[in-house]
Amino acid sequence: MSAPSSPHSSHAAAQPLSIRASGPLRGEVAVPGDKSISHRSLMLSALAVGTSQISGLLEGEDVIATAAAVRAMGAQAERLGPGEWRVSGVGVGGLLQPTQALDMGNSGTSTRLLMGLVASHPITATFVGDASLSGRPMGRVIAPLSDMGADITPAPGGRLPLTVRGLYPAVPIRYTLPVASAQVKSAILLAGLNTPGTTTVIEPVPTRDHSERMLAGFGAQLTVEPTPEGRVIMLTGEAELKPQTIVVPGDPSSAAFFAVAATIVPGSDITILNVGLNPTRSGLFAALRAMGADIEEVSPRTVGGEPVADLRVRHARLTACDPDPAAAPSMIDEFPVLFVAAALAKGTSRIAGIEEMRVKESDRIATMAAGLTAIGVSVEELPDGLVVHGRDGEPFAGGGPIATRLDHRIAMSFAVAGLHASAPVEIDDAAPIATSFPNFLPLLRTVGAAC
């Protein structure tokens, strides 16, 4: 199958952004639905027999790419209203041959997880993406899926465009993750759904566990056991998934930007509503509290098997941090905005053990180092992290334009930095923010930001 060019491959026209300090941030915000849970809700609903209802779905470009892909493989995914979706599944084993390449836009999660779905079905699918996604290596998911029998042909360097020829019946494997990755774990488990026998994944370092929680919720036979070698996850294949009613909690990765903003801007007091606090995802809030942040959990509750609370965050003076690398998987997407917090702390923060950040939407270590330097922060780049010399609350100098490298989290992190800067912070392109948080800038304005 030939791979047509992706409509996302040349990014839309750049949207420069200037953001400046505007005084205290006040009020309530409701962040979009959790991105990880949104992706998985669509995929597992597409494999269930019957109709699932989803509310609170994140409607950023990444999740919409997943919705389009499951439609292309036979599921019916219908938007009923803002965040409200109805999905009629084809059943495990029932995916249909897509008639054209699956355009993943900028979404690495969509790509890796859907590769797992296709790998154990007797279909062939070609994955394409934008320039940023096409530069990201897929080798760590290609290896286990190939062990299961899928025939995968990537572009040079294990990159997109990439074609997966699934095998049925696929071969169950026992696989120890060489690098902590929820995406690789999830791809193997999703492939295991249509694989006879038991598929086993061993996690030496725990990663976000939304896939395990949701697979069990949909009726898959799955066990998770702590052992000396790590978490052992065993899935019995040829599953029959039952449709569900899913309420997606607010995304902690999106909430992180407002938590840091309220922490660093003097006089601020923000409540972030309905935030998912899954312990495999909430490392950023623990790190901020260790630095002295004032974060209060209000009305803690459980929604759909996930812990949720409202977070009240007030301005606080921060001290430097040296986070445990073992906690990195629980906050891997939040390190860019943690660097911003560290840059305003008292003392020097050494944040290491996060080499995974070099293969995200951009090389986030190098990109953040360059951007922080441009707004007056002294940093030292490490192979696996950054040393950040804090300014003890002194505003950033401002400046730019900051190169975001088509990375939504870089753009949002420097927007937050601009809220406590002596001069405006200029960002070269805010357009990528739409991939995960389409209403980020309007929400910032509602609590008093000037952007």
Residue 235, token pair as written in the block: 């899935």
Strand order from edge to edge, sheet including 124-128: 102-103, 124-128, 159-165, 151-155
Residue finishing a domain among 218, 246, 274: 246
Same domain, 296 and 400: yes
Residue range(s) defining the domain that contains residue 46: 35-246
pLDDT of residue 359: 80
> Tell me, what CATH number does 113's domain have?
3.65.10.10
Residue 360 marked ligand-binding: yes
pLDDT of residue 5: 31
Same domain, 304 and 239: no
Residue 183 marked ligand-binding: yes
Same domain, 63 and 78: yes
Domain count along the chain = 2
C-alpha dihedral sign at 383, 385, 390, 395: positive
Same domain, 332 and 230: no
Enumerate residue ranges in the chain where pLDDT < 70: 1-12
pLDDT of residue 9: 35
Report if residue 381 sits inside a domain.
yes
Q: Return the active site residues.
A: 333
Chain centroid to CA 98? 26
Distance of alpha carbon 228 from alpha carbon 283, whole angstroms? 23
Same domain, 374 and 267: yes
Same domain, 170 and 287: no
Report if residue 173 sits inside a domain.
yes
Same domain, 287 and 363: yes
Report if residue 426 sits inside a domain.
yes
pLDDT of residue 12: 64
383-411 pLDDT, tens per residue? 999 999 999 999 999 999 999 999 999 99
Check if the beta carbon of residue 128 is closer than 8 Å to that of residue 161: yes
Residue finishing a domain among 192, 215, 246: 246
Question: How far lies 226's CA from each of 134, 201, 202, 229, in Å?
Answer: 36, 12, 10, 8
Residue 409 marked ligand-binding: yes
Check if the beta carbon of residue 288 is closer than 8 Å to that of residue 255: no
Same domain, 220 and 298: no
Distance of alpha carbon 282 from alpha carbon 286, whole angstroms? 7
Residue finishing a domain among 229, 246, 263: 246
Same domain, 242 and 268: no
pLDDT of residue 222: 97
Report if residue 9 sits inside a domain.
no
Cβ-based neighbours of 108, under 8 Å, separated by 6 or more: 133, 136, 183, 360, 361
Same domain, 225 and 314: no
Residue 391 marked ligand-binding: no
pLDDT of residue 89: 98
pLDDT of residue 127: 98
Question: How far lies 311's CA from each of 56, 299, 307, in Å?
Answer: 18, 9, 13
pLDDT of residue 424: 97
Cβ-based neighbours of 254, under 8 Å, separated by 6 or more: 31, 32, 35, 436, 437, 440
Same domain, 50 and 25: no
Report if residue 41 sits inside a domain.
yes
Residue 108 marked ligand-binding: yes
Cα Rg, the chain, nearest whole Å: 21
Report if residue 1 sits inside a domain.
no
Q: 0.85 exceeded by the pTM?
A: no
Report if residue 451 sits inside a domain.
no
Same domain, 200 and 278: no
pLDDT of residue 157: 95
210-250 pLDDT, tens per residue? 999 999 999 999 999 999 999 999 999 999 999 999 999 99
Report if residue 406 sits inside a domain.
yes
Distance of alpha carbon 252 from alpha carbon 153, whole angstroms? 35
**Strand ranges, E, within 205-328:** 222-227, 230-236, 245-247, 269-276, 294-303, 306-314
